[in-house]
Structure 1
């Protein structure tokens, strides 16, 4: 078995694992995460606009939470969120929100490497 075949199998399996983690975070952790930002105007507007509980709606609501948690200083400086709101979110919940999306970025770069390797 070649290394390329093993890399391809791991890459495809990783896609399903990451997809599952993202779905778990969106369906099980999103409402709890939004509860810590219940007084935030940006979150309330975003939830009203994307409030039909369809997969695309949950993705966009989660995207805002990931933006807040991944670049807190930028959003604090812009006045979109306060330090107290960000500090109130438990560390375990932050991990559940951020890590599936960070793994997706790593998976994307691994897919680019696979594509270059396949065409080589």
Structure 2
């Protein structure tokens, strides 16, 4: 079997795995994550703006949580969150929030590798 076909098949499977993890995090972990920031002005404003329980609204609310958790020093330095709020969030919940989106970076890199591989070896689809 051609290695490129196996590679593309794994990329497609990986796409659905990541999508499932992202949907699970948005549906099951978002409210729990926001509860640790229930007195934070920025989170409350973002939740009010994107409060509808639709896919796009959850995506934007989760995006703010990911930004806060992935760059905590910047948000603390700007005074948007406190060290106490960040310290209250359990490590397992931080992982559920961050890892699906970190896997997206790996997936994008793998997609780029596949595109370069295809162009260098003139693989027809």
TM-score normalized with structure 1 length: 0.98
- What residue is the counterpart of 2:45 in the other structure? 45
Tell me, in whole angstroms, the C-alpha distance in 1 between the residues paired with 2:53 and 2:17: 22
Match in the other structure for 1:73: 73
Tell me, in whole angstroms, the C-alpha distance in 2 between the residues paired with 1:23 and 1:8. 23
Instruction: Return 5+ residue gaps in structure 2 as ranges.
Output: 121-125
For residues 59 and 34 of structure 1, the distance between their equivalents in structure 2, rounded to whole angstroms, comes to: 13
In the other structure, the counterpart of 1:117 is 117
Q: CA RMSD in A?
A: 0.6
How much has 1:116 moved relative to structure 2? 1.5
Q: Which runs of 4+ in 1 moved over 6 A?
A: none
What SS does structure 2 have at the residue aligned with 1:100? helix
1:31 aligns with 2:16: no
1:48, 1:103 → 2: CA distance? 29
Task: Give the gaps of 5 or more residues in structure 1.
Answer: none
Partner of 2:62: 62
TM-score by length of 2: 0.94
Larger Rg, first or second structure (1 or 2): 2
Give 1:19 deviation, angstroms: 0.3
Which residue of structure 1 aligns with residue 123 of structure 2? none
Aligned residue pairs total: 120
The residue aligned with 2:91 is: 91
Q: Please state whether the residue corresponding to 2:48 is helix, strand or coil.
A: helix
Q: What corresponds to 1:20 in structure 2? A: 20
